[in-house]
Amino acid sequence: MAMILEKIGLKSFETLYATLIKMDYTQPVSDENVTVMDTTFSDIPDKILAKYGVDPNRVCISGDSSGGTLAAGVTQLIQNDPELKNKLKAQALIYPGLQLVDVSVPSHREYEHGPLLPWKVAIKLGCLYFTQDRAIPQAMMKNQHMPHGSMHLFKLVNWSTFLPEEYKKNHVYTEPILGRLNPSYSILLDTRLSPLAVNDSPLQNLPLTYILTCQHDILRDDGLMYVSRLRNVGVKVFHDHMEDGIHGALSFMASPIYLKLGIRIKDKYINWLEENL
C-alpha cells in the first residue's frame, strides 16, 4: 500500500512507514539521555545496570532487523571499550542488517522484490539513518555509493569469501564502484552502520552470539557472513536458519496477521536465551 501511495504521489513510503511505527511506539524504560549516534558510552551502561539492579554477569543485548544492526554495533562498542568494566554475556541478532558497503549480495538479488522488505525499500529506509539526500539511495541502487578510501572494507563483506557454498549458487562477485557519488559521504565508512565491516581484532572480543537468518530475506547473507566471520576468529556462535523464513516474521504473532513462523522464531530465540543467559 505504501509503495502504491508513493507511486501516485500521495505520500512517500518512509512517511507512511514512520506513521505506522509511531502507532506502536513504546517509550524507553531508561531516562538516560542516550542517542544512537553518541560517540562514546562513557559510564552510561554501568550506571543503568546499578540503577535497575541488573546482574552485570547476565546481560544480553538483542534486536531484530535494524534493531539487530544497532545491537551488533553497540555490542562491538561495549566489548572493545577498556573503560567499561561490565561486559555483555551474549548478543542475539534476529535477521539483522549488518552492512551498507555492498548492496548487491546474492540475497539482495534473489529477493529484490520481497517478500515484506523489497530491496529498494530497504535501501531507502537504511539511508534515512544518516541523510535525506535522495542522491545516496540512487547511487546505492547501482552499488556506486562508497567513497574513495573505502576499498579496504570490501574484503570484510566479500560474500564470495564468507558465504557458505550453497548460497553462492551461480552468482558472480563484482566489487562496488568507488567515488561515483558527489559529494561523497564519509559516514558510509562508519562501522556503526556496518558492523560486519570491521577488522578481525575487534570481533575477537565479542561475546557468545545467537544469529537467526531467514531464507527468503534480502538480509539473509549479512547474517550468514557474520556467522562465518565470528567463527573464524573464535567467537562461539549458535546459528538458526529458517528455510521457510521471511523478514519481519517475528512481528506477526498476533491478529490481524498471525504467522506460526513468528511463533517458531520466538520459541527458538527464547529457548536459546533460557539455556545460555
* Residue 172 burial class via C-beta count within 10 angstroms: exposed 0-12, middle 13-18, buried 19 and up: exposed
**Which amino acid would we find at residue 163?**
L
C-alpha cell at position 211: 544469529
Using alpha carbons only, give the angle 263, 264, 265 rounded to the nearest 5 degrees: 90
Catalytic residue among 65, 104, 150, 184: 65
Catalytic residue among 108, 145, 216, 247: 247
Asked about 55 being catalytic, the answer comes back as no
Nearest CA to 203 out of 228, 221, 170 is that of: 228
Asked if 156 and 210 count as a contact pair (C-beta separation under 8 A), the reply is no
Backbone angles phi, psi at 276, to 5 degrees: -120, -15
Asked if 178 and 151 count as a contact pair (C-beta separation under 8 A), the reply is yes
Catalytic residue among 217, 221, 222, 240: 217
* C-alpha–C-alpha distance, residues 215 and 237, integer Å: 19
Asked about 217 being catalytic, the answer comes back as yes
What are the residue numbers of the active site? 65, 217, 247
